[in-house]
Each structure stands twice: as C-alpha cells, then as structure tokens.
C-alpha cells in the first residue's frame, strides 16, 4: 500500500472514531487520537494523564497508584507515564450533562497532545450524571478520544459502607473501565481477536467477570465486587490490546 492511501485510511478512521465517540461538539482543546496511539510506542513515547477535580472530590491516592500500575502494565511508552493532579474551581452542580463536562474540560485542561507526548484527561465530578434514569447510576463515561469523567460523588454514595466495596476499589474499577474504552475496548477502535462483544450493551465485553463488562461503569457493579477486588481484564480483552500494539 502506498503512503498516501495509508494516510487517507488513517484519516478516515480518525474522523469516524471521533464522530462515534463524541456526542458533543469537539473543539481545539484536544487532538483526536486513536487507541493504537495509547497502546504502542510508534507515534507517542510518553503519556501524561491529567486529573482535575473540585476541592474535596479528588480520587484516593490508592486509585491513582492503581491507575499508574494498570497503564504501565498495558501501554508501551518508553519515555514514561505520569499522572498530574490539580484542583479546579467550577460552579458546584448536583447533576452534569456531557456538554457541561466538556465545557469544564475545554476551560481547564492544560495538558495537550503534541510532539511525541500523548495526554489523557479525567474530570472528577462532585455530582451525578444528568442522563441517569432508574435505580442504576452511571459512575463514569469516556466521551472523547482521550477524555473521561468519573462521577466521584456517585461513587462515594455506593462505597465505603458495611455492605459496600471500599471507595478506592470502586474508583479504580470505574477509572480502569473508562480507560479501557479509550484503549479501544471492546471493538471500539481496537479490533477483536475473537468475538466477545456484548451486542446488547454497546462497546462492552460479554464476560461478567471482566473489567469491560457493561455493569462495571454503573452502580450495578457494586454487588459484583467481591472481597474488595478490582475486576481485571479477561484474556480476550488482553489479547485485543496486545493485538493493537499494547503489552
Ligand atoms: Zn463502559
Ligand atoms: Zn473482557
């Protein structure tokens, strides 16, 4: 294949994946990237993950440490992976729409992808997701090619009690799950090596013990977290990541 055709195919893919994942208008705050950019070392050899939160709603230190371990184990980044955190000021809201979350990112995100450095962004919200309906609450959303929101207040509502998982365990479950979508799971920019898509629940794994099972980003997961263990990726998801440049 000549270089021009390769470039055209890549460009089409980037555009298609941008349209599919972003339900709100993207602006110039983030470069559109693809899962292979995170997994392989070819286009970017360094990753900076930026975490922003309102005072009092930072993730636990254990969750940050777990995220670092999770990324180090899966991504090829020879110049390293770092996580930077910052409290931001923003009006407190009881519920957030996706458009409001992206507006917060547009104003506050400081780490931008350029050169050989790739960046990712998390906002930890001190309210619930506006699109919640019924008793099942959304705990996190991956809404752009490198952007995620974690509903920290909702996570706290469903953790830490006698019959609930520890806070850091539930945080890590949701943080890892959303990053899994950014890494292209399941069939979300990273091709499946064998079929394991849960066709009735979008871009999720059909194994209820896998991190990428659909319930892992909602309050429904709480009953499934046994003994404080963070769900891991199953072999099929791991094979997909390896097949797309990961480790
Ligand atoms: Zn999901
Ligand atoms: Zn899986």
Spell out the domains of the chain, with CATH numbers in brackets.
27-243 (3.40.390.10)
Q: What pLDDT score was predicted for residue 131? A: 95
The CB-side HSE value for 93 (13 A sphere, CA atoms) comes to 17
Q: How far is the CA of 217 from the centre of ligand 2 (A)?
A: 14
Q: What pLDDT score was predicted for residue 30? A: 59
- Using an 8 Å Cβ cutoff, are 40 and 120 in contact? no
Q: How far is the CA of 207 from the centre of ligand 2 (A)?
A: 6
- Ligand with the closest atom to the CA of 180: 1
Q: How far is the CA of 4 from the centre of ligand 1 (A)?
A: 35
Query: Strand (E) positions, 9-152?
Result: 46-54, 80-88, 95-96, 117-125, 128-129, 140-142, 147-151
- Using an 8 Å Cβ cutoff, are 94 and 132 in contact? no
Q: How far is the CA of 6 from the centre of ligand 2 (A)?
A: 30
Question: Which string of b and e fits 58-93 if b means at least 16 CB within 10 Å?
Answer: bbeeebbebbeebbeebbebeeebebeeeeeebeeb
Q: How far is the CA of 132 from the centre of ligand 1 (A)?
A: 14
Protein residues within 5 Å, CB atom, of ion ligand 1: 217
Q: What pLDDT score was predicted for residue 21? A: 38
Q: What pLDDT score was predicted for residue 32? A: 87
Q: What pLDDT score was predicted for residue 75? A: 98
- Ligand with the closest atom to the CA of 186: 2
- Ligand with the closest atom to the CA of 141: 1
* pLDDT < 50 stretches in the chain: 1-29
Q: Nearest CA to 128 among 145, 153, 104, 109?
A: 153
Q: What pLDDT score was predicted for residue 55? A: 84
């Amino acid at each position: 294949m000549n270089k021009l055709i390769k470039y055209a195919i890549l460009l089409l893919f980037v555009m298609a994946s941008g349209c599919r994942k972003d339900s709100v208008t993207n602006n110039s705050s983030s470069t559109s990237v693809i899962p292979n950019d995170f997994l392989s070392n070819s286009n970017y050899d360094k990753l900076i993950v930026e975490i922003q939160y309102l005072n009092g709603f930072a993730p636990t230190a254990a969750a940050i440490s777990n995220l670092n371990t999770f990324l180090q184990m899966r991504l090829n980044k020879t110049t390293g992976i770092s996580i930077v955190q910052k409290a931001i000021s923003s009006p407190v809201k009881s519920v957030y729409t996706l458009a409001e979350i992206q507006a917060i990112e547009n104003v506050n995100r400081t780490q931008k992808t350029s050169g050989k450095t790739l960046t990712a962004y998390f906002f930890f919200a001190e309210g619930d997701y506006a699109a919640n309906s019924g008793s099942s609450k959304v705990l996190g959303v991956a809404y752009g090619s490198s952007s995620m929101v974690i509903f920290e207040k909702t996570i706290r509502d469903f953790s830490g009690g006698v019959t609930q998982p520890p806070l850091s365990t539930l945080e890590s479950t949701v943080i890892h799950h959303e990053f899994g979508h950014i890494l292209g799971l399941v069939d979300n920019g990273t091709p499946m090596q064998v079929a394991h898509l849960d066709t009735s629940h979008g871009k999720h794994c059909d194994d209820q013990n896998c991190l990428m099972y659909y319930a892992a980003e909602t309050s429904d997961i709480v009953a499934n977290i046994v003994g404080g263990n963070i769900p891991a990726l199953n072999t099929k998801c791991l094979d997909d990541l390896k097949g797309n440049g990961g480790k």
